Chain A
């Protein structure tokens, strides 16, 4: 771990220099929105953005990703045999990722990279990626990251953490990957560790002070799973939901996908798309039977997964990093902070 300072005048030059070795991703302004996109050509990341409407999970887990290909042409060798798609796993870096989004990638990792199973597409992308985080100095009103083991300066999952000092960035280099990226940019003005850490601590405390939203999760663990599952509040809570799945698509921790096959002439590919437990199709069997056939079951699934099943299974906190995106994007204002409170304080009445 060391600190370096980057004069903003040298930022663009350094970033451009790294393009020789890295594919870059980062926040880009698009009308009123900020999106995390590949920084093609000479597009620069917008390091001053408040928040992006979609999270950075797509850098490792695109909404649509080809995973296997085959030829249906019978004169070709190995026709009809699915082979892994030739995706690009050369080094990539995501610039300006928010600390809560980087933490979310660590939660997603628990699912895609386990002892028994490794999702090769996600793992290879993860291996290839350097995460250059941007600390949040002005947290938005929906940010509750400090309630859920993340926060505006959380370092978990990051290779570099940047803090904005108006004319310059201070970069805390956290891993060898981070070091390589800084070297590829030619950023090498080291500064005193102790002083810099002290400055980081001050900035962090100030930023954390500006988070007014607090969500308690302390009692979720001890609640009986079936009691929560059978609780009476789900019907009212689900009434307004239109099952659009926006909440899961914008969520940096939602990892579900669906597999589809498509063929064009003699070329066939298998790809995966983000899926959402809010959609009736998510669980519909080939027979037509649907174990989660009604809306309330799907709404319950989302919150039970995030706030109870995940917690019980991994014992690593809830499956939410407090980014507030779902709170803001839900068209009917179903607010996970309220639901979490309802679940956390739920007492079964006999």
Chain B
């Protein structure tokens, strides 16, 4: 993936120079190891600031729809699917966005890497499939494959779905016999154990809503948790209120979530909120044969009428 950055910079510089776009939205290197930061580049010189590596785990579609004028955006497979969703949901027009697609080899799980060390990580570099991670006490050489984020591990759309240009060669997509082994595991639990699983999952939640704010689907001008008239959900740390936020947000994402993992990437408390959304992704696939963000002409299943609907009441 390192080689694609040259191409990304070239393409960006060209687009800006020709005035085809006002901004290029990409990632800049962070100030601490394994951190990158979304950035909007407006001049040719600044394209040097762009980076692309296995720590670019946030979803840039979230930034594209809030811009004026035409913008270019660096899009991994999942970002491109959220751009498709944005177009279908009228958050952005196709001709307002120029997509520099990046076929993706996966993003790393930063907290999994952090748990290898007793102290803080002070350095991180990558070369192909090799990660070199250092702390003040030691160094670890890791295989990237072993430290992918869970959503990247199960990703079957690494290549951008929609793009104007590619920054590198397409990669091979994987076929999964069981696309939702994580959900299967939770489904196999008995009711009490399942309840306990979700109780444990959210017990450290501080309701910062980083998961929601990092999510490209959560663009409502006023989220239901923030609504005051009427107030749908309590604002304190009461368990029921905390969980209500999580359950309802997951349902609002049903049939729209691309499992990009930005929510988990953003959560300061290491909570795998994907345990909620993944179940609904599985249902969408099993009930409607639907995966979000694959087709710019189709509306999501909960937003469309079909005589093939599996539920009788709708006919």
Q: State the A residues within 8 Å of B (CB).
A: 30-33, 35, 50, 53-54, 62-64, 138, 140-142, 236, 239-240, 242-246, 249-250, 258, 260, 262, 271, 273, 276, 279-281, 327-329, 331-335, 337-338
Whether A333 contacts B30 by the Cβ 8 Å rule is yes
Which residues of chain A are near B62, meaning CB under 8 Å?
242
Task: Offer 19 A-B interface pairs, CB within 8 angstroms, sorted by A.
Answer: A50-B119, A140-B119, A140-B120, A141-B120, A239-B39, A244-B209, A244-B213, A245-B208, A245-B209, A246-B268, A260-B235, A262-B236, A273-B237, A328-B32, A331-B214, A332-B58, A333-B32, A335-B32, A337-B31
One of B122, B206, B214, B267 near A141 (C-beta < 8 A): B122
In the assembled complex, the Cα of A141 lies from the Cα of B33 at a distance in Å of 10
Whether A53 contacts B237 by the Cβ 8 Å rule is no
In the assembled complex, the Cα of A236 lies from the Cα of B46 at a distance in Å of 12
Min CB–CB distance B309 → chain A (angstroms): 36
Whether A53 contacts B37 by the Cβ 8 Å rule is no
The verdict on B85 contacting chain A, using a C-beta distance below 8 Å, is no
Whether B32 contacts A35 by the Cβ 8 Å rule is no
Min CB–CB distance B270 → chain A (angstroms): 6
The verdict on B204 contacting chain A, using a C-beta distance below 8 Å, is yes
Tell me the chain B residues, 196-241 only, with Cβ under 8 Å from chain A.
204, 206, 208-210, 213-214, 226, 234-238
Which residues of chain B are near A35, meaning CB under 8 Å?
204
Closest 8 A/B residue pairs (Cβ): A244-B210, A331-B266, A64-B236, A333-B30, A242-B213, A64-B237, A333-B35, A240-B38
Whether A331 contacts B268 by the Cβ 8 Å rule is yes
Min CB–CB distance A286 → chain B (angstroms): 9
* 5 further interface pairs, Cβ-Cβ under 8 Å (given A138-B136, A271-B236, A332-B38): A50-B119, A138-B119, A244-B213, A262-B234, A281-B226
Whether A64 contacts B238 by the Cβ 8 Å rule is yes
* The stretch of B75-83, B110-118, B243-251 that contacts the partner chain: B110-118
Min CB–CB distance A250 → chain B (angstroms): 6
Which residues of chain B are near A239, meaning CB under 8 Å?
38-40, 63
Whether A333 contacts B37 by the Cβ 8 Å rule is yes
In the assembled complex, the Cα of A245 lies from the Cα of B266 at a distance in Å of 11
The verdict on B54 contacting chain A, using a C-beta distance below 8 Å, is no
One of B30, B36, B136, B236 near A260 (C-beta < 8 A): B236
Chain B contact residues: helix, strand, loop or mixed: loop
Which residues of chain B are near A142, meaning CB under 8 Å?
32, 120
Whether B270 contacts A243 by the Cβ 8 Å rule is no
Tell me the chain B residues, 27-51 only, with Cβ under 8 Å from chain A.
30-32, 35-40
Min CB–CB distance B292 → chain A (angstroms): 21
Q: A138-B119, A142-B32, A338-B31 are in contact. Are A332 and B37 (CB under 8 A)?
A: yes
Min CB–CB distance A270 → chain B (angstroms): 11
Min CB–CB distance B31 → chain A (angstroms): 4
Which residues of chain A are near B118, meaning CB under 8 Å?
50
Min CB–CB distance B92 → chain A (angstroms): 17
In the assembled complex, the Cα of A258 lies from the Cα of B225 at a distance in Å of 14
Which residues of chain A are near B213, meaning CB under 8 Å?
242-244
Most interface-central of B31, B114, B115 (chain A CB within 10 A): B31
Tell me the chain B residues, 1-55 only, with Cβ under 8 Å from chain A.
30-32, 35-40
Q: A50-B118, A240-B38, A332-B37 are in contact. Are A31 and B32 (CB under 8 A)?
A: no
Closest to A240 in B: B38
The verdict on B269 contacting chain A, using a C-beta distance below 8 Å, is yes
In the assembled complex, the Cα of A332 lies from the Cα of B266 at a distance in Å of 8
Which residues of chain A are near B39, meaning CB under 8 Å?
239-240
Whether B266 contacts A30 by the Cβ 8 Å rule is no
Whether B235 contacts A273 by the Cβ 8 Å rule is yes
Closest to A65 in B: B236
The verdict on B259 contacting chain A, using a C-beta distance below 8 Å, is no
Which residues of chain B are near A62, meaning CB under 8 Å?
237
Whether B210 contacts A331 by the Cβ 8 Å rule is yes
Whether A273 contacts B115 by the Cβ 8 Å rule is no
Min CB–CB distance B236 → chain A (angstroms): 4
Min CB–CB distance A100 → chain B (angstroms): 15
Whether B268 contacts A32 by the Cβ 8 Å rule is no
Whether A244 contacts B38 by the Cβ 8 Å rule is no
Whether B31 contacts A327 by the Cβ 8 Å rule is yes
Which residues of chain B are near A279, meaning CB under 8 Å?
226
Min CB–CB distance B274 → chain A (angstroms): 15
One of B111, B206, B214, B265 near A249 (C-beta < 8 A): B206
Which residues of chain B are near A50, meaning CB under 8 Å?
118-120
